[in-house]
Copies of this chain bind each other. A is one copy, B any other.
Amino acid sequence: MASTERLQEQAIERFWETVPPLWSTIRAHLRAQATDQFDISVEQFHVLRYVRRGTDTISELATAKNISRPAISQAVDVLVNKGLVKRVQSKQDRRYVELTLTDAGDHLLDEVFKETREWMRERMGALNAAELEVVIHAMEAMKKMLK
């Protein structure tokens, strides 16, 4: 199926033109937000994000973020010291430490997200309804690439 192959090539090309710079822009915005207003790094912000979504043990976080367990353990240390995360030993299996956001951590995340959504909304103002639909469907389709 030659035409599918050509479409693949095109999709890859466009992906590389668009996603890395866009993601980099978003990261820069997040960094400014997280650093200036809350004095945490983008990586720390991502850890909070993962914890809230239920990736709440050291090993899961390490896998999700593709870094070593000690690295995550230490990153969590910082967040605990900042009062944003709590460690609680699991009752089912006491080897595990379950991580939860404190109220402060929860609130911080809300604030950053609120601001970031506002910022993205501005960016998406450049897209009309039809384009937004296309983006929504594309995101849906691209999930298949994650598997």
- A residues in contact (CB < 8 Å) with B: 1, 3-4, 7-8, 10-12, 14-15, 17-25, 27-28, 31, 65-66, 117, 120-121, 123-129, 131-147
Closest to A147 in B: B126
Total copies of the chain: 2
A123 closest partner in B (C-beta): B145
Query: Which among B11, B12, B121 is the interface contact of A12 at CB below 8 angstroms?
Result: B121
Taking A7-B133, A19-B23 as contacts, is the C-beta distance between A12 and B138 under 8 angstroms?
Answer: no
A3 touches B129 (CB 8 A): yes
Known: A12-B124, A117-B12, A120-B12. A7 touches B145 (CB 8 A): no
In this complex, what residue of B is CB-closest to A141? B131
Q: From residue A81, how far is it (CB to closest CB) to chain B in Å?
A: 26
Bound-state Cα–Cα, A132 to B128, Å: 20
Give the top 8 A-B pairs by smallest Cβ distance, nearest first: A138-B138, A14-B139, A7-B132, A126-B144, A131-B141, A123-B145, A18-B139, A135-B138
